[in-house]
Amino acid sequence: MSEMATEKTSSGIFARTSSGLVRSISTFDTFFYCLVQLAVTFGFFQIAYWVFYPGAQMEVATVIAVVIALLEGVTYGLFTSVYPRSGGEYVPLSRATHPFIGFVASFSNTFWQIFFTGTIVQFGTTFGVAPLFAALGLQLDSDALFNLGLWFDTPPGWFIFGAAVIILFSYQLHRGMRVYFKVQKWLFGLAIAAYIVFLLVLVLGSTGTFSFAGTYDEYFGTGAYTTLLDTARADGVDLLPLIDWKMTLFFTIWPAWSVFFAVLSTAFSGEIKNVTRGQLIAIPFAQIIGGVLILLTGFLARVAISQEGLLAISWVSTITPEKFPLPYPWISMLASIMANNVILTIIINFAVIVMTTYVAASTAIYGTRGLLAWGIDGMAPEWLGKVSEKYRSPTNAIIVTAVIAIITLAVYSFTDWIRFLQGMAGMGIVFTVTIFVAAIFPFLKREVYEASPAKIEIAGIPLMTITGLLGSIGMGFIVYRVIVDVDYGANSPISMAMFVAVFVVGAVWYFIARAVRRSQGVDMDARFKEIPIE
């Protein structure tokens, strides 16, 4: 169905003829969003927990993850070009299959993205702020700076820093996407430049210009580094394990959960200027660039610190942290210590702080557009679908997202009720379902497919069918590993309970919303036969 046809029919189905959003986002802005959303700095996790997958090859695992992600990214880009509206998976799934599937999937991803807005900000302190001051404290021999770093990595530090970041990002989003992307472009651009400096520090470490072992001994006594290796060996850790391809495949789960998230730029498809190809260009390109950065970080860390050193640090810092004198095993902290230079320490951790905390802003964008789409369709209170006439932003949805995120942050900071990785299985299932539906879409909606920008074929087979089927196999494996991998940490009883509960709540919400609208005389079946207003 053409957009012109939709414009003609939607006035009698929807309460208004325009959402109020404007197409102000360029393909480059979208690319930057995707690069932010895939969280390059979360690659630090794979370095820190590499030891629990003996024989795994980090670089190979990263390449496998990127290949699966590209299949996912191309499929998403093609699928959303058919239904170029804001709201993520909600519009394509609800229009291509059944509204129930679309809404429940959207409810899950919207919930978890708002959840992550409230939890990711904590990692801005753990990955960046705390290591910054802790390293400066060591380098400047200042207990005050060192202790300040440790304070930031406490519940009060998480909450104060995180709440301030959420409020700041929410204000930028309220001012409109033009303002948000202008700030993001410059600030995140500087952070990328600083991250390249960080990689160069690792390169200098690999050439011997910097020596982690030497600096470690300077701070903690002659022979401290050798003692660190001996401690791990005494615990039975093989610091030079043979290559294990099974473990490499299992380890893929770590880089995968960075590069997969670039597809969430589909949350604002209705606001992209190049609506037919913007996502198809931005998503895969960001996945490739982000994957290369993650691969380089792991490879250079292994060369600069040494494989033995990284594995020993991973083990000792996790199993017997009292025997590891540094407060963090993150490669940003290790690189800061290795370089032993105040300016480089500031540059390295500036990159980490910005690149990590901006992920929270990207998850907030997804949350606001999910709420907006529900409000427009009538699946949530209509005031969530309102858009500011002055700033062309969904102010009410932004406020709700910020409030829920700050409440989540408070619960996450001051209780042990929730865990950071709880949403991985739920979101993974939504990703898998979406690309599988995209794969069969040309056969479900033949006429729509034939008239859409997604009609790209290889030997007569739709490209989205090829990438969707292959991608859903890869994604299905990763989701399976999330559910069974104890070392990954996303399958605790409370995590699995929340994973199921979110889908259940979404299903209940769907039927209640339909019943409420039916009592108000709204023909929801007619609404779901059309794509929403622009």
CA-to-CA separations, 322 to 129, 151, 316, 318, 340, in angstroms, rounded = 22, 18, 8, 9, 23
Q: Is residue 23's pLDDT more than 80? A: yes
Q: Tell me which H or E stretch contains 307.
A: helix 307-319
Residue 359, token pair as written in the block: 């992920």
* Helix or strand run (H / E) with residue 159: helix 155-174
Is residue 440's pLDDT more than 60?
Answer: yes
Q: What are 284-328's pLDDT values in tens digits?
A: 999 999 999 999 999 999 999 999 999 999 999 999 999 999 999
Number of helices (H) and strands (E) in the chain: give both, helices first: 24, 2
Question: Which has the minimum average pLDDT: 83-87, 391-395, 510-514?
Answer: 83-87
Q: What is the pLDDT of residue 423?
A: 77
Per-residue model confidence as pLDDT tens digits over 71-111:
999 999 999 899 888 888 999 999 999 999 999 999 999 99
Amino acid at 472: S
The owner of tokens 């003692």 is 227
pLDDT at position 499: 87
- Smallest CA-to-CA distance from 74 within 438, 428, 479, 450 is with 438
> How does residue 246 score in pLDDT terms, banded at 50, 70 and 90?
very high
Q: How confident is the model at residue 534 (pLDDT cuts 50, 70, 90)?
A: low
The H-or-E segment that residue 377 falls in is: helix 342-377
Task: Quote the CA–CA distance of 335 and 39 in Å, as a whole number.
Answer: 19
Q: Hey, what are 193's tokens?
A: 């430049």
Provide the 8-state DSSP code for 355: H
| pLDDT given for residue 13 in this prediction | 59
Kindly tell me if the per-residue pLDDT of 18 is higher than 80: no
**Helix 278-305 to helix 307-319 angle, to the nearest 10 degrees?**
90
Distance CA 136, CA 342 (A): 6
Give the amino acid at 534. Answer: E
pLDDT of residue 383 exceeding 50: yes
**Burial readout 65-104 (b: 16 or more C-beta within 10 A, e: otherwise):** bbbbbbbbbbbbbbbbbbbbbbbbbbbbbbbbbebbbbbb
> What are phi and psi for residue 501, nearest 5 degrees?
-60, -35
Residues 6+ apart with CB under 8 A from 119: 408, 409, 412, 418, 420
Please tell me which of 192-196, 377-381, 424-428 the model is most confident about, judged by mean pLDDT.
192-196
Does 7 score more than 70 pLDDT?
A: no
Residues listed for the chain: 534
Tell whether the model's pLDDT for residue 10 goes beyond 50.
no
Cβ(349)–Cβ(131) under 8 Å? yes
pLDDT at 153 over 70: yes
Report pLDDT for 503.
95
Q: What is the pLDDT of residue 3?
A: 36
Measure the CA–CA gap between 124 and 357, rounded to whole angstroms.
5
- Paired tokens of 126: 């753990």
The confidence band for 16, taking pLDDT boundaries of 50, 70 and 90, is low
pLDDT given at position 324:
94
- Inter-residue contact 212 to 305 (CB < 8 Å): yes
- Residue 9 in this model has a pLDDT that exceeds 80: no
Among the residue ranges 18-27, 268-277, 366-375, the one predicted with the least confidence is 18-27
Q: How far apart are the first and last CA of the chain?
A: 14
**25: DSSP letter:** B
Is the pTM higher than 0.75?
yes
Is 11's pLDDT higher than 60? no
Predicted local confidence at residue 123, as pLDDT: 87
- Among residues 35, 156, 97, the alpha carbon closest in space to that of 444 is found at 97
Residue listed under structure tokens 């104890």: 486
Q: At what angle do helices 331-339 and 212-220 cross, to 10 degrees?
A: 80
Q: Are 210 and 304 in contact (CB under 8 A)?
A: yes
Distances (CA, A) of 49 to 44, 229, 304: 9, 16, 17
Mean pLDDT over each residue of the chain, to the nearest integer: 91
Give every CB contact of residue 390 below 8 A, 6+ residues apart in sequence. none
For the chain, list the domains and their CATH numbers. Answer: 3-527 (1.20.1740.10)
Burial 209-237 (b: 16+ CB within 10 A, else e): ebbbbebbbeebeeeebebbbebbeeeeb
SS3 of 405-433? HHHHHHHHHHCCCCCHHHHHHHHHHHHHH
Residue 494 structure tokens: 């409370």
Q: What is the pLDDT of residues 415-429, one digit of tens each?
A: 888 776 667 888 999
pLDDT, residue 533, reads 62
Lowest model confidence (mean pLDDT) among 3-12, 128-137, 341-350: 3-12
CB 55 within 8 A of CB 247: yes
- Res. 517: pLDDT tops 50: yes
Task: Count CB neighbours of 431 within 10 A.
Answer: 27
What's the pLDDT at 24? 85
**Rounded mean pLDDT of 504-529?**
92
Q: Let me know: does 88 contact 362? Beta carbons within 8 Å.
A: no
Q: Is the dihedral of CA 39, 42, 46, 47 positive or negative?
A: positive
Q: What is the pLDDT of residue 322?
A: 93
Residue 6 identity (one-letter amino acid):
T
